[in-house]
Structure 1
Amino acid sequence: MEHTSETVAEGKLIGETSYAERAVKYTELAIDGIKIDFYDAKNKVVHEVKKSDKVEQAHIAQVKYYLYILHKNGIDDASAIIEYPKMRQKQMIGWEEGDKATVEFWVEEIRKLINLETCPPLVKLKICKKCSYYDFCYSGEVLE
């Protein structure tokens, strides 16, 4: 759904304009269904740019999943930097004890959802309106 999302397009534009030199310096890495826009292969650092004006747990979870995929593919000791250009702030994220079990739990929970015969009930959260999957989750819903 992300390829049709205005939110994703806006975030990509912010990343490209805030760090214009990065596309030349770092590599885009597509592996096991993920696409890391900026990967510093020499230093094993994922750079994730967020358009948000606040740090969110979902951002950390996303890069933890990226680090998990890298580790599964033999790239050990990678780390990540989440960058927030609007706040002029960075957050360093490393792989910690227990992260593998946590990410594998998330993956298993997603597998369970995918294998359900019917969709689970809709959970309405504030963050939903900003999500690139909004139209998918709310298709057929009567909005109040």
Structure 2
Amino acid sequence: MSGLHVQYYIVCKRKLWLYAKNINLAPENDKVMEGAILHERAYRQIKERDIHIDNQIQIDAMDKYYVREVKNSSKMNEADRWQLLFYLYELKKRGVEKKGLIQYTKEKKTQEVELTHEDIARLDKMMNEIEQIIDCVQPPKFVKKRYCPNCAYHDFCFAGEESE
């Protein structure tokens, strides 16, 4: 399980399932390419950046006090926050305790994130639910959301599906 699994769980259970089944339509998506460029240009002044741990955690940057993530906008704030909390939790399990910072470049704002005991309990429950979704043979039912038009899976989901 990775941070993207947690992010997609918050955003859309169907997107989570598709991603977990390696149905990856995202590389050609404009928003995904924009995010990749932003990621490449961010945090150049920080020595520890683009950190990969156990094929599970992919951190944009880390300094003495913070795990840092950069995002274009705060439209997916809740999903961004839980993704970062997942990273903080996984690091804590490995003996590394830090706070988190999410930098939203379009709004020129930063959000500090701190892992709590309540967050850990919710993450444990969330990870169990993510595993259950991934183990399903069929994708979760299509649920139309406000951000569907910008999703890389838009055409897949809208091909012959009826919304709830």
The answer to whether the superposition gives a TM-score over 0.5 is yes
Judged with a 3 Å threshold, the aligned counterparts in structure 2 of structure 1 residues 27 and 106 are, in CA distance, closer, same or farther, namely same
**Deviation readout 1:56-89 (Å, 9 max, x if unpaired):** 21111110111111112221x2111000111111
The alignment status of 1:83 with 2:106, answered yes or no, reads no
* Cα deviation, residue 29, structure 1: 1.3
The two structures have a TM-score, normalised by structure 2, of 0.70
Give the match for residue 7 of structure 1. Answer: 31
The alignment status of 1:46 with 2:46, answered yes or no, reads no
Give the match for residue 127 of structure 2. Answer: 107
Distance (Å, rounded) in 2 between the aligned partners of 1:61 and 1:131: 19
Give the match for residue 94 of structure 1. Answer: 114
Structure 2 alignment gaps of length 5 or more:
1-23
Structure 1 alignment gaps of length 5 or more:
none
* Cα deviation, residue 143, structure 1: 8.8
Give the match for residue 125 of structure 1. Answer: 145
Distance (Å, rounded) in 2 between the aligned partners of 1:125 and 1:113: 19
Judged with a 3 Å threshold, the aligned counterparts in structure 2 of structure 1 residues 137 and 72 are, in CA distance, closer, same or farther, namely farther
Instruction: Supply the RMSD in Å over aligned alpha carbons.
Output: 2.7
Q: State the SS of the aligned residue for 1:27.
A: strand
Q: State the SS of the aligned residue for 1:95.
A: coil
Q: State the SS of the aligned residue for 1:138.
A: helix
Give the match for residue 44 of structure 2. Answer: 21
* Cα deviation, residue 127, structure 1: 2.1
Distance (Å, rounded) in 1 between the aligned partners of 2:155 and 2:89: 27
Give the match for residue 58 of structure 2. Answer: 35
Distance (Å, rounded) in 1 between the aligned partners of 2:73 and 2:35: 9
Judged with a 3 Å threshold, the aligned counterparts in structure 2 of structure 1 residues 104 and 131 are, in CA distance, closer, same or farther, namely farther
